[in-house]
Amino acid sequence: MPAISVLMPVYNGSRWLESSIESILKQTLIDFELIIVNDGSTDLSLEIALSAQEQDSRVRVISLRENKGLSNALNLGLASAKGVWIARLDADDLSMPSRLKEQLSFLEDHPDVVLLGSGCSLVDEDDISISSYLYPFSHSSIYRRLIWTRSCFPHSSVIFKRDIALSLGGYSELFRRSQDIDLWLRFSEVGRLACIPKPLCSVRVHSSRLSSEDGGARQIVFSSLAILLHRVRLKYPDFVAVPSCLFESLYIRIASSAEVKALIWLLRLKSCLRGQFGRSTRAGNILSIPTGVILNFVIRVLVVPIELLLSRFLLFRQFIAFHPGS
């Protein structure tokens, strides 16, 4: 039995799949297996995965004939995994060579931690570095970020206990976005979360990324729904399973709220401002620098605080209106 099972679902990700696989196979820790779940790809993803399986006995491929969605693919891999720990990596992201070794060492030194993330670097479609992000180390700080819809460590940086994930029901297939946020919050109900304040993975930024679809609108709604259900479980411990009809009703109610519409507008504004900021700083002339400073000021001092206030008001209002028996 390997110490770690690395879980990598892929759907039409042949462009970067080989690089992602290579980043795992070149880990300084060798006690792992890599499970690639081909989710009905129509490109060369399956061929690339099978080639890796032939060349390295630590690679196992599970292939679906048709696309079933990310949560389903993750749960198939989770059920098939043999490792004590599950490490995640998306098929377009990269792991640093020492990632698994550093994370396993941390977990051995902190037996109360059930889920561990790390900082990350952002790279573009051509592997050019964009920026790096570090996140809080402590459970309380990570938890506060989760329940107030603030950014947390990426899915591709995470490692968690397989047995606990299975006992929690794995990834909820009701969530078509923010599956990770929902599972992290359920982990927080049974143990401690932690983060290594160091970039141990590279997250690729590109237009076809799942979270980039529809401008991130559904990401906002599903994240809000995950937080709402978490708070409901804390207040009503007997309320564990969520019927699909209730889930869809809550989704529609949140998606149609004025707060979400305003958050989507702010998200688009922030994206536009960041695009202008990037162009102004890349220009590199003295006239463009004040423009970049002003745009960054607008994002940090005006847009982000309003975004946080709207998120908190949305969650508060939805929780007050929620009744488990309805």
pLDDT, tens digit (0-9, with 9 covering 90-100), for 201-252: 999 887 666 555 555 678 888 888 888 888 888 888 877 677 788 888 888 8
Structure tokens at 199: 């970039």
- For the chain, the maximum distance between any two Cα atoms, rounded to a whole number of angstroms, is 62
CA pseudo-torsion sign 23, 26, 28, 33: positive
Q: Say which residue the tokens 């009703």 belong to.
A: 249
pLDDT above 80: residue 48: yes
CA pseudo-torsion sign 290, 295, 296, 298: positive
- Give backbone dihedrals phi and psi of 136, rounded to 5 degrees, phi first: -60, 150
Closest by CA position to 90, among listed 205, 184, 195: 205
Q: Which of 126-130, 193-197, 256-260 tops mean pLDDT?
A: 193-197
8-state DSSP, 244:
H
Q: Mean of the pLDDT values across residues 270-284?
A: 55
Q: Where are the beta strands (DSSP E) in the chain?
A: 4-10, 32-39, 59-64, 85-88, 94-95, 113-123, 129-133, 159-161, 192-204
What CA–CA distance (Å, rounded) separates 34 from 297?
43
Using CA atoms, how far residue 171 sits from 71, 76, 124, 157, 195, in Å, is: 6, 10, 28, 16, 20
Lowest mean pLDDT among 52-56, 79-83, 313-317: 313-317
Using CA atoms, how far residue 181 sits from 266, 275, 290, in Å, is: 21, 26, 37
Structure tokens at 311: 């998120």
What percent of the chain is predicted at pLDDT more than 90? 50
> Is the CB of residue 45 less than 8 Å from the CB of residue 20?
no
> Is the CB of residue 159 less than 8 Å from the CB of residue 4?
yes
**Residue 305: its pLDDT value, please?**
73
Which tops the pLDDT comparison, 94 or 267? 94
Lowest mean pLDDT among 27-36, 173-182, 302-311: 302-311
Lowest mean pLDDT among 75-89, 138-152, 239-253, 290-304: 290-304
Domain definitions of the chain by residue range: 4-206, 216-321
Q: Mean of the pLDDT values across residues 41-65?
A: 95
What CA–CA distance (Å, rounded) separates 9 from 229?
26
pLDDT above 90: residue 94: yes
Closest by CA position to 20, among listed 268, 253, 203: 203
Which tops the pLDDT comparison, 277 or 238? 238
Residue 246 CA to chain centroid, in angstroms? 24
Among the four given CATH numbers 1.10.569.10, 3.90.650.10, 3.90.550.10, 1.20.1250.20, the one describing domain 4-206: 3.90.550.10
Q: Mean of the pLDDT values across residues 47-59?
A: 96
What CA–CA distance (Å, rounded) separates 184 from 242?
17
Q: Mean of the pLDDT values across residues 47-55?
A: 96
Structure tokens at 13: 């990700």
Structure tokens at 160: 């968690």
